[in-house]
Amino acid sequence: MQTLLAGGCRPLINILSDDVLRTFEQHVFTVLRDATDVENPLILLNCLAIMRILIEGGQKDVALSTSGGQCLAFPVPNTPSRHWSPDAMRSFFDGVKAHKAVQLIVLRVIWACKATAEAQSEAYNCVRLANYILAGINDNVKQDWCAKNPAIERKLHEKSLGRDMSAELRFQVR
């Protein structure tokens, strides 16, 4: 789902109804809540990446190219009839849930840094998603998290220097 929304289906976000967006948001929150008990680190990161896409999707005009090279513009609905707001998701990027989101992301990257050779592809995707999500989190939140969590930050740094990591993964972590 994250791949579709990040790619060719992104323009569809702006034409979805409020009810569809609310339902989709609730499903993302349900998966996110249930993912904290699951061993698959990509589920959590995919949910956060989807949130970032939905937050940004509602903020930009979207243009689609036609086969003739013309662009069809789909402006962001800016009318009072638009009731859905990504504020609940935004709290993971610059609100009350942002510190916990950074914590979970960093822990997933630490896991990725010590992944076995068989799990390198999953580890690479984990770090790629983490970079994408962290780019959407407020800089002040990230700096504050680093100041409050020096031990975890140090562990991340140590793991990122691991000799067993592939060059591609090491490049993504740094």
Judge contact between 113 and 105, C-beta under 8 A.
Answer: no
At residue 130, what are phi and psi to the nearest 5 degrees? -60, -45
- pLDDT at position 72 is 52
Is-above-0.85 flag for pTM?
Answer: no
| pLDDT tens over the chain, length 174 residues | 777 777 667 777 777 888 988 998 999 999 888 876 566 778 899 999 999 988 888 554 444 444 455 555 555 444 445 578 889 999 999 999 999 999 999 998 888 887 776 677 888 889 999 999 999 999 999 999 999 999 999 998 888 877 677 767 777 766
133 burial level (CB within 10 Å; 0-12, 13-18, 19+): buried
Every domain of the chain and the residues it spans: 2-75+87-173
> How many whole angstroms separate alpha carbon 84 and alpha carbon 64?
23
Q: Provide the CA 80 distance to its chain's centre, in angstroms.
A: 28
CA dist., res. 58 & res. 113, Å (int): 34
